[in-house]
Chain A
Amino acid sequence: MQQGLTETMAVPMLSPAARRRQLREKVIAGFITLMAFTGIAALVLILVFVAKEALALFTEAEARHEASLSKMFLPQVARVGRPATFTWQPVSNVPKVSMIPLFIGTLKTTAVSMLVAVPVGVFGALYAAEFAPRRLRELLKPVIELLAGIPSVVLGFFALMVMATFLQDTFGLNTRLNAVVAGLGLALAIVPVIFTVAEDSLTAVPRSYREASLALGATPWETAWKVVLPAAAPGILAACVLGFGRAIGETMIILMASGNAAIVSANLGDSVRSLSATIAAEMGEVVVGSPHYSILFFIGVQLFIFTFVLNMLASAWTKKVIKRLTGSAS
């Protein structure tokens, strides 16, 4: 735009049509800039709002007493005469607000879902991009993307009604609703995310790479695995990060299928309570401004920080990978 301006000054004699075109360009550029800054402003304002609501935890005496950082992250004595534990029990005569069971719950469901969704999504994309006949590929892509269009409440309902009983009968789990059921339900939601982005980055790998590899005598499988997949690594990593972000923030499926018991255990067959589902389940009941309310917003801040840090790490790593692939060119 700078250049355009100086040009206008240097060449004052423009035809009316050219001037109109220039004006139109300027209006469009301004509109796009406005939209971009609206997006950024919205994001910043949301963050400010969420952080402001959570801030009361640190500034108000009542909230500080009820939910200090040590109460959130260190074990507390729940019942007199019992050992100190990590307990999430915010509605109680003595509120107990340990974040640890919620962290564990979130990590368990996220781990299960990523364990399932990453291989399915990435290998599905690799198959669609490299091996599937054209016709099948044209069918496969929209069908999997359609899965992304299913509302998560429907996926949650499916996990609750169908998968839970099936998994319990098959594996003899103690409880119907647990991290495995919730994680698998979650996987249904993130497979299309990972698949779509990974497939796009795989098909974007230049044809010449494949041709060179095949010309050197590599089999199609070797080409796909050792050439195309590494070349698309940054995009595939981005797909996984996107999937991870969705998994950590996804609420409805977990709310419905996880059992929502805040248990500290490593067993995937136990019920779990996640950070996001806790916000959804409890935000309705709290009185605005109470310590419990602030804690729920604080959980929101933590979720934000998680995904933010993860995205930063991923983008740093992606840069490194790109550098390695392209040499020191960029």
Chain B
Amino acid sequence: MKTFLKSLVAVLLVALPVAARAGTVTVKGSDTMVILGQRWAEEFMKKAPATKVQVTGGGSGTGLAALQNGTTDIAMSSREMKDAESKKLRARYNTTGEEIAVAKDGVTFYVNAGNPVTALTLEQLRGIYLGDITNWKEVGGPDAAIVVYSRENSSGTYVFVKDNVLDGEDYTSSAQTLPGTAAVVNAVAKEKHGIGYGGAAYAKGIKELNVKKGNEEIAPSADNIKTGKYPLSRNLYFYLRNKPASEVKAFIDFALSPEGQAVVTKVGYFPVK
């Protein structure tokens, strides 16, 4: 719930430019990565008390927009930078930006714990999110309307699902958008006929769907995501304007160190190394 409120606050604060000060590293973006970023910041500041690391959420698009507007040092993103975004970056700062994969994550689809459906194919998920499938009985569930939950369009997960599940097509307009994965999980936990999606780290109190491929049901487990067998696994990124230097470099080096990657596992994502 904490992240949910934080992301709400962040949504309101993004318009305010954060002035970069010496000794301060600002990190902004993906709500999926907020907790991870904060743990890294805490651990890092224990080792380097002179440096202040400020982590805020708001969504990957928010972070990347802040990077382009020059209001953050590091943008956290749960998706790759779009062409349009790197073009803007080049136009303003004459750089293409630095992309650093810092963790791995799988996007999981959730349903209410009382829903008998345990696995769906990517085509079925696509149909549900495009609005072509509107009743659970069409995919082997009870005769009830599907309540579709999605994320706000500033979310990296929104874009990831749009690109990898919907093939770039638009979500059904009856999809309810919620701010933050925690809000989606909470909604699905309370809505008997709901379906939502988000990072695996948040999946508590609801049922995670396996993805059906042929006759095989692939669970969003650690091994399947790390090896990339689970079809909806992704990298979590840090984006920078230029090659990292001084405090920013120290922070990123820490995040990629064995110690930093141990934090990744603790938070519930998967190490890149």
Contacts and interface: CB of A to CB of B under 8 A. Distances in A.
24 contacts: A78-B173, A87-B173, A89-B173, A90-B153, A93-B168, A175-B176, A177-B176, A177-B187, A259-B176, A259-B177, A259-B178, A261-B176, A271-B174, A281-B11, A281-B153, A281-B154, A281-B179, A283-B15, A284-B15, A284-B62, A284-B154, A285-B153, A287-B84, A287-B88
A79 B170 contact: yes
Interface of A: 78-79, 85, 87-93, 96, 101, 153, 157, 160-161, 164-165, 174-177, 252, 255-256, 259-263, 270-271, 273, 280-288
B190 A285 contact: no
Given A79-B170, A281-B179, A288-B65, 15 more contacts: A78-B173, A87-B170, A87-B173, A93-B168, A96-B170, A177-B176, A256-B179, A260-B178, A271-B176, A283-B15, A284-B14, A285-B59, A285-B65, A285-B154, A287-B88
B61 interface: yes
Which among A91, A96, A164, A284 has the greatest number of chain B C-beta atoms within 10 A?
Answer: A284
A contact patch SS: loop
Contact of A261 (B8, B170, B174, B187): B174
B187 A282 contact: no
Interface in B235-255: none
A165 B191 CA distance: 8
Contacts of A93: 168
B62 to A, nearest CB: 4
B179 A255 contact: yes
A175 B194 CA distance: 9
B68 interface: yes
Interface string B162-189: 0000001111011111110001001100
B12 A280 contact: yes
Contacts, number: 103
Interface residues of B, number: 40
Contacts of A284: 10-11, 14-15, 58-59, 61-62, 65, 154
B145 to A, nearest CB: 6
Which among B5, B171, B173 has the greatest number of chain A C-beta atoms within 10 A?
Answer: B173
A174 B175 contact: no
B43 interface: no
A91 B176 contact: no
Interface in B26-72: 58-59, 61-62, 65, 68-69
Contacts of B176: 175, 177, 259-261, 271
Contacts of A255: 8, 179
Contacts of A273: 177
B80 interface: no
A263 B154 contact: no
Given A93-B168, A260-B152, A284-B59, A175 B173 contact: no
Contacts of B5: 153, 157
A319 to B, nearest CB: 38
Enumerate the 5 nearest inter-chain pairs by beta-carbon distance, A residue then B residue, closest first.
A285-B154, A285-B61, A259-B176, A284-B14, A91-B153
Contact of B11 (A164, A259, A280, A286): A280
Which among B154, B158, B175, B176 has the greatest number of chain A C-beta atoms within 10 A?
Answer: B176
Contacts of B103: none
B69 A288 contact: yes
Contacts of B159: 91
A93 B159 CA distance: 12
B147 interface: yes
A146 B135 CA distance: 45
B120 to A, nearest CB: 21
A101 B173 contact: yes
Given A260-B178, A283-B15, A176 B152 contact: no
Contact of B147 (A91, A165, A175): A175
A282 B171 contact: no
B85 interface: yes
A320 to B, nearest CB: 40
A263 B131 CA distance: 12
Nearest to B153: A91
Contacts of A281: 11, 152-154, 177, 179
